Chains A and B, each alone.
Chain A
């Protein structure tokens, strides 16, 4: 047979065979990624219980932009410490924030305000705007509201890829404005809580604070399996930062630590409303590494935080994603420890810190356990089942234990350890 050149004919025939538009298996570009979650959080001993349904939705817009939306609802019930501490042999009576009723705590029990009940709704939106192939800005906005607290914020985060996309530098700024509107009005700082029905020490109905945050970060791909990230944040909070529902016990004698019987006049209870500085400078450093093994993934992070209230904290977090046949298991360990704020006080001593006329000789004081020296350990396990249609179901459980180091305080007045469980069900899918 005479050999002949058929290359051109072959190319034309192949073109006719393959030219038909291919049906796209999955219209990836314009689907919504939806993540629905339900979280239950419960503290032991009848303290805070929270139910939190949440939905997150995100989709690409055009080739490069993206929008992400989220709605989170928190329903909280239960009791929360009011700042006073347990004392043996003495029943303690407190007035509720409205000033219209009171509750009495049995001797030896930690004073909890059980009128705590709230529903919080939070809305958020992020818009990712691609500037060019290598850089983008994420514009963010969030709003949240509950009956006594309202918060709104905006943020912008710029990031740029370098070095064949192996390095990403980012810089961000955030602004938040919060308004607190305590039930019963804003208590006067260091003024005593008064008896139920008596006129309360209230000044105005709302206060505000402003939060400004700056962040710079670098993300570096080390090799195809390892990524590290470093973020530095600086923040400043100015304005009202007290917890309007927290009080500090006034004592006659610090050795016994019993609520004062000699304090002020009739109708005044031996507790004063806390006072914190109206400015706070915060800084933190965050370091994270993600390493892919053959199939499994290790995710480790460390955060150092420090502020001018004297709180320094360390957070270590480790997750290991272990791939099973058609699902995965992810154990989680988190360790958190913090030092106390400079003005964290077990109580105020009559004659030394405060006089019988109510003049306070210290600048600030709070007995909020969240400002105390403490350690928190979290042990968790997540089980996830990725499905064929790009959906995933997961369930996560965590056990959280917190212990507070009160320092040298009279026996029986220690802050009790707190234990809590968290359960989360999650279903994500492409819509």
Chain B
């Protein structure tokens, strides 16, 4: 038998369910499980934690030991990627097409000139234009599971990773129990199925400018994801520059909503839909209405 060192799980019993917590992907993560048995709850929590940590480790752009680092440091050499990475890049590729270039996993380098620290340090146009040379999915060759891009460009799957992790964990939880489990990674949430007695999972909703949850999401199935960040913006001459950047111009999208939450069958769909809405700026609400999804805007 494999013996491993006992590790403390943060697992508490609450009114009718087990509540597990941990930190991953720089977010507080929680797992609510409507199961009786503590051992089963611990098993689900451990499996979810392991998956979240695996995805973080594999796709974080802050590490130097993963596929993202290899790609970003290939110095224009082609990099062959594994199946899972390829599926994520394929997905991002389709999103870029759907959004006509508004969604772009190469836009991360714009953060070198845009520092959303609440100050008034809006970058010079020349600095933005210099960086913009390194942005654009159309500059990348992606075929046969091999990615080749000019030196200096970077990709970042961070915009998909958390939602993808939530959906993967939903699948894992479903394989372990028939009872309802809610996965919530920093406000991106999804449930494995309906609760007993038609009850809903209640999850606190964060609203711009408030530190605490205001209002509740009542979720009985599917997923809800939120884009936006109350604390990441620049303010200069009375203009608020949101942290949503248009990869085609290199500039902050004007009049973007502070936060957008969308409900969808999966967390990936909900997350991408809310991200796309943010990128529409002041047309966000119109865009969401057109999609015929449930949404919340601030």
Residues of A bordering B, CB below 8 Å: 1, 3-7, 9-11, 13-14, 16-18, 20, 22, 24-26, 28, 164, 224-225, 292, 294-295, 325-327, 385-391, 429, 431
What's the least CB distance linking A31 to chain B, in Å? Answer: 11
Question: In the complex, what distance in Å separates the CA atom of A326 from the CA atom of B8?
Answer: 5
Question: In the complex, what distance in Å separates the CA atom of A387 from the CA atom of B100?
Answer: 51
- Interface contact A325-B291, CB-CB below 8 Å: no
**Cross-interface CB contact of B6 among A1, A14, A292, A388, cutoff 8 Å:** A388
- Interface contact A5-B291, CB-CB below 8 Å: yes
Give the contact stretch, choosing among B133-141, B170-178, B211-219. B170-178
Question: In the complex, what distance in Å separates the CA atom of A431 from the CA atom of B1?
Answer: 8
- Interface contact A28-B1, CB-CB below 8 Å: no
Q: Bin the interface of chain B by size.
A: 35 or more
- Interface contact A388-B7, CB-CB below 8 Å: yes
* B28 contacts the other chain (CB 8 A): no
Question: In the complex, what distance in Å separates the CA atom of A389 from the CA atom of B1?
Answer: 9
23 residue pairs A–B, Cβ–Cβ below 8 Å: A1-B102, A1-B280, A3-B283, A4-B290, A5-B291, A6-B276, A7-B292, A13-B98, A14-B266, A14-B272, A16-B91, A18-B167, A20-B87, A24-B172, A25-B43, A224-B16, A224-B17, A294-B12, A327-B6, A386-B42, A389-B2, A390-B42, A391-B3
- Interface contact A387-B87, CB-CB below 8 Å: no
* B237 contacts the other chain (CB 8 A): no
**Cross-interface CB contact of A24 among B88, B175, B290, cutoff 8 Å:** B175
Interface residues of B in 173-201 (CB under 8 A from A): 175-176, 196-197
* Residues of B close to A17: CB separation below 8 A: 87-88, 90-91, 164, 268
- Interface contact A385-B6, CB-CB below 8 Å: yes
* B5 contacts the other chain (CB 8 A): yes
- Known contacts: A25-B176, A26-B176, A327-B6. The answer to whether A18 contacts B1 by CB under 8 A is no
Residue of B whose beta carbon sits closest to that of A34: B1
What's the least CB distance linking B49 to chain A, in Å? Answer: 10
* Residues of B close to A327: CB separation below 8 A: 6
- Known contacts: A386-B42, A389-B1, A391-B3. The answer to whether A25 contacts B175 by CB under 8 A is yes
* B78 contacts the other chain (CB 8 A): no
- Interface contact B51-A389, CB-CB below 8 Å: no
Question: In the complex, what distance in Å separates the CA atom of A260 from the CA atom of B80?
Answer: 100
- Interface contact B175-A22, CB-CB below 8 Å: yes
Number of A-B residue pairs, CB cutoff 8 Å, is 117
Map CB proximity to A onto B73-101 as digits: 1 under 8 Å, 0 otherwise. 00000000001100110110011001110
- Interface contact A14-B268, CB-CB below 8 Å: yes
What's the least CB distance linking A411 to chain B, in Å? Answer: 55
Closest CB pairs A-B (n = 9): A25-B47, A22-B171, A326-B6, A224-B16, A13-B94, A388-B4, A17-B91, A24-B175, A6-B98
* B265 contacts the other chain (CB 8 A): yes
- Interface contact A7-B293, CB-CB below 8 Å: yes
* Residues of A close to B290: CB separation below 8 A: 3-5
Question: In the complex, what distance in Å separates the CA atom of A327 from the CA atom of B39?
Answer: 13
What's the least CB distance linking A334 to chain B, in Å? Answer: 24
What's the least CB distance linking A392 to chain B, in Å? Answer: 9
Residue of A whose beta carbon sits closest to that of B281: A1
Question: In the complex, what distance in Å separates the CA atom of A311 from the CA atom of B235?
Answer: 86
* B13 contacts the other chain (CB 8 A): yes
Map CB proximity to A onto B97-125 as digits: 1 under 8 Å, 0 otherwise. 01110100000000000000000000000
* Residues of B close to A292: CB separation below 8 A: 13
Residue of A whose beta carbon sits closest to that of B276: A6
* Residues of B close to A429: CB separation below 8 A: 1
- Interface contact A389-B266, CB-CB below 8 Å: no
* Residues of A close to B13: CB separation below 8 A: 224-225, 292, 294-295
- Interface contact B164-A22, CB-CB below 8 Å: no
- Interface contact B266-A390, CB-CB below 8 Å: no
- Known contacts: A225-B13, A390-B39. The answer to whether A11 contacts B47 by CB under 8 A is no
- Interface contact B176-A7, CB-CB below 8 Å: no
**Cross-interface CB contact of B1 among A1, A6, A164, A391, cutoff 8 Å:** A391
* B273 contacts the other chain (CB 8 A): yes
Map CB proximity to A onto B140-168 as digits: 1 under 8 Å, 0 otherwise. 00000000000000000000000010011
Question: In the complex, what distance in Å separates the CA atom of A297 from the CA atom of B70?
Answer: 50
Question: In the complex, what distance in Å separates the CA atom of A9 from the CA atom of B100?
Answer: 13
**Cross-interface CB contact of A22 among B88, B94, B172, B268, cutoff 8 Å:** B172
What's the least CB distance linking B173 to chain A, in Å? Answer: 9
* B294 contacts the other chain (CB 8 A): no
- Interface contact B43-A390, CB-CB below 8 Å: yes
* Residues of B close to A388: CB separation below 8 A: 4-7, 46
Residue of A26, A292, A294 with highest tally of chain B CB at under 10 A: A26
Please name 17 further chain A to chain B contacts, defined as beta carbons within 8 Å, in addition to the given A14-B266, A26-B47, A225-B13, sorted by A numbering.
A1-B100, A5-B292, A10-B269, A13-B98, A16-B90, A17-B87, A25-B46, A25-B176, A224-B17, A295-B12, A326-B8, A327-B6, A387-B3, A389-B2, A391-B3, A429-B1, A431-B1
* Residues of A close to B47: CB separation below 8 A: 25-26
Question: In the complex, what distance in Å separates the CA atom of A16 from the CA atom of B88?
Answer: 10
- Interface contact A13-B91, CB-CB below 8 Å: yes
Residue of A whose beta carbon sits closest to that of B292: A7
* B15 contacts the other chain (CB 8 A): yes
* B22 contacts the other chain (CB 8 A): no
- Interface contact B268-A3, CB-CB below 8 Å: no
What's the least CB distance linking A110 to chain B, in Å? Answer: 46
Interface residues of B in 257-272 (CB under 8 A from A): 265-266, 268-269, 272
- Interface contact A326-B7, CB-CB below 8 Å: yes
What's the least CB distance linking B228 to chain A, in Å? Answer: 19
Interface residues of B in 1-55 (CB under 8 A from A): 1-8, 12-13, 15-17, 39-40, 42-43, 46-47, 50-51
**Cross-interface CB contact of B272 among A10, A224, A294, A386, cutoff 8 Å:** A10
Residue of A22, A164, A294, A389 with highest tally of chain B CB at under 10 A: A22
* B69 contacts the other chain (CB 8 A): no
* Residues of B close to A387: CB separation below 8 A: 3-4, 6
Question: In the complex, what distance in Å separates the CA atom of A387 from the CA atom of B17?
Answer: 22
What's the least CB distance linking B251 to chain A, in Å? Answer: 15
Question: In the complex, what distance in Å separates the CA atom of A189 from the CA atom of B298?
Answer: 92
Question: In the complex, what distance in Å separates the CA atom of A5 from the CA atom of B99?
Answer: 10
Question: In the complex, what distance in Å separates the CA atom of A168 from the CA atom of B99?
Answer: 56
Question: In the complex, what distance in Å separates the CA atom of A397 from the CA atom of B167?
Answer: 46
* Residues of A close to B102: CB separation below 8 A: 1
Question: In the complex, what distance in Å separates the CA atom of A429 from the CA atom of B47?
Answer: 17
Residue of A whose beta carbon sits closest to that of B99: A6
- Interface contact A10-B98, CB-CB below 8 Å: yes
- Interface contact A164-B269, CB-CB below 8 Å: no
* Residues of A close to B16: CB separation below 8 A: 224
